Structures are given as structure tokens and as C-alpha cells.
Structure 1
Amino acid sequence: MSDPRAEDGGAPPQRPVGALPQRPDTPCVAVCSTTFDEICRGCGRSVAEVAHWVSMSAEEKERVWVRILAQGYPRRNT
């Protein structure tokens, strides 16, 4: 079987239209703190998003991922 990347100069295969990007199972970086507000200082999710993460659909999780990445999360303490 041939490598699909070899035919187009080594570019990675394209994601099917409408497919969600590959992401880690959770944005958690084990820097959990909601001391000052309802947003975790490590991952950027709200308390409700953290609590309901396991029951959220892939599309709901993707919306959260897009928002937190745009806001500069997840963050690790440095």
C-alpha cells in the first residue's frame, strides 16, 4: 500500500470536511485553581465545563477547545 503523503509532496493527509481535529482527551494540565473566579487558571474551562466534560458531546468539547486556545489556554505554571 502506498503512502498518501508521497503523492502530494509530503503534505499530511487532509481532514475530511466536517471532521473534528484530533485533541487530547481533556485540556486539563493539573494546574487546577478557581480561587479568584469561576475559570480554571490552568485549562481555562469554567467550573461547569470541568464538571460536565465527560458527558459533553464531541462538538461541545470542540467549542470549548476553540475558545480556550484562542484565550491562550491551557497554561502551565512556569
Structure 2
Amino acid sequence: MFTSNPSDDTPASGVPSEGAGGSAASAANRSLLPTDSPCVAICSTLYDDICRGCGRTAMEVANWVFLSDDEKRDIWVRIKAQGYPRR
């Protein structure tokens, strides 16, 4: 008989871990991430392609309204892991 031992895959940082195979708990936590814009109105891409306020690339900022919810969540996972958005 198969028994499951669910665990919370969310580390103290609040970013769901992406373990091998992706558990149901991690998928549920990932779905809780917002899909709204991470913009904090501190826009700066002066010397590179990454906004210093939200952590998105210039292309992600420009195309945000056209991205699917899954694409937006993927970006949120990445920028949260990198310490963005900075308020």
C-alpha cells in the first residue's frame, strides 16, 4: 500500500523549492504566488537588462501583460529567490 507523507516544501524565504519530481505541496505553494506585476516603481535598467526594483528583465517588463499566469509565476519564483522585489 502506498502512503504519502506530505511536507511543506516552502523554506523560510517563502519561495517554494523545486525538488526533483515536484511534490503536490510545492505545486500548491507555487500556485499561491501572485500573477500581478512585481513593479515597485523603482525602475532602473541603466547598465544592464535587469530592473533594480523588481528584478525582471526589460523584455519581461515590456511583455508582462501578454504572459500567461504560469509564466508570471515562474518569474515570481525566480525574482523572489534573488531577493526581489526591493521596496
Same topology, TM > 0.5: yes
Question: Are the aligned partners of 2:53 and 2:86 in contact in 1 as well (CA < 8 Å)?
Answer: yes
Aligned pair count? 62
Summarize the alignment of residues 55-70 of structure 1 with structure 2, pairs less than 5 Å apart.
Answer: 55-70=66-81
Q: 1:43 to 1:54 in 2, by over 3 A?
A: same
The separation in 1 between residues aligned to 2:28 and 2:76, in whole angstroms, is 18
Letter in 2 for 1:64: I
Q: 1:17 to 1:65 in 2, by over 3 A?
A: closer
| Cα shift readout 1:25-46 (whole Å, capped 9, x = no counterpart) | 1100000000110000000000
Displacement after TM superposition at 1:17 (Å): 4.6
Question: Are the aligned partners of 2:51 and 2:58 in contact in 1 as well (CA < 8 Å)?
Answer: yes
Displacement after TM superposition at 1:23 (Å): 1.6
Structure 1 residue ranges (4+ consecutive) displaced by more than 4 angstroms after TM superposition? 16-19
- Give the fraction of aligned pairs with identical amino acids, expressed as a percent: 56
Displacement after TM superposition at 1:56 (Å): 0.1
Task: Give TM-score scaled by structure 2 length.
Answer: 0.63
Letter in 1 for 2:37: T
RMSD between aligned residues: 2.2
Unaligned runs of 5+ in 2: 1-24
| Structure having the higher Rg | 1
Unaligned runs of 5+ in 1: 1-13
